[in-house]
């Protein structure tokens, strides 16, 4: 990774990376920082961010995407081992329509505790139901077209 990291002085997560805003850091490496979410969906809910500023998944350096995915994977495994999580959700939002509120790429790493509503407050945001086969075929054709 190059010596100087790209930062945005107005970005909350860049300010956390720079140590200007306090955070409860739970993991760090050369490219990434992981810290507890101050509005947790479950006990242990953390955010993994690249140290370099990128507004979202589309703007991020692919190496930072890979590094944050590896960091999220390692943190999720640690949550299962050390927090007794039954599972882990890992997710990111790309754009305001996808509920992104802080415009610095970040992965939510959310430990899940089956049947323990005191520790796990996350609820599925949609009700899965079968898709229309014609719509699925149309979407697939657009996504696979050259």
Q: Is 108 a catalytic residue?
A: no
Kindly name the residue from 45, 104, 106, 108 that is annotated as catalytic. Answer: 106
Per-residue H/E/C for the chain = CCCCCCCCCCCHHHHHHCCCCCCCEEEECCCEEEEECCCCCECCCEEEEECCCCCCHHHCCHHHHHHHHHHHHHHHHHHHHHCCCCEEEEECCCCHHHCCCCCCCCEEEEEECCCCCCCECCCCCCCCCCCCHHHHHHHHHHHHCC
Which residues are marked as active site?
A: 106
């Amino acid at each position: 990774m190059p010596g100087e990291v790209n930062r945005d002085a107005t970005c909350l997560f860049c300010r956390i990376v720079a140590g200007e805003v306090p955070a409860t850091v739970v993991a760090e490496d050369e490219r990434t920082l992981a810290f507890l979410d101050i509005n947790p969906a479950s006990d242990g809910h953390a955010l993994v961010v690249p140290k370099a500023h990128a507004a979202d998944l589309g703007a991020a350096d692919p190496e930072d995407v890979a590094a944050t995915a590896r960091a999220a994977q390692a943190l999720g495994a640690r949550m299962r081992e050390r927090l007794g999580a039954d599972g882990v959700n890992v997710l990111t939002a790309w754009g305001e329509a996808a509920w992104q509120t802080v415009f610095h790429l970040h992965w939510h790493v959310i430990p899940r505790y089956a049947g323990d509503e005191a520790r796990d407050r996350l609820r599925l945001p949609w009700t899965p139901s079968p898709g229309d086969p014609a719509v699925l075929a149309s979407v697939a054709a657009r996504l696979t077209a050259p």
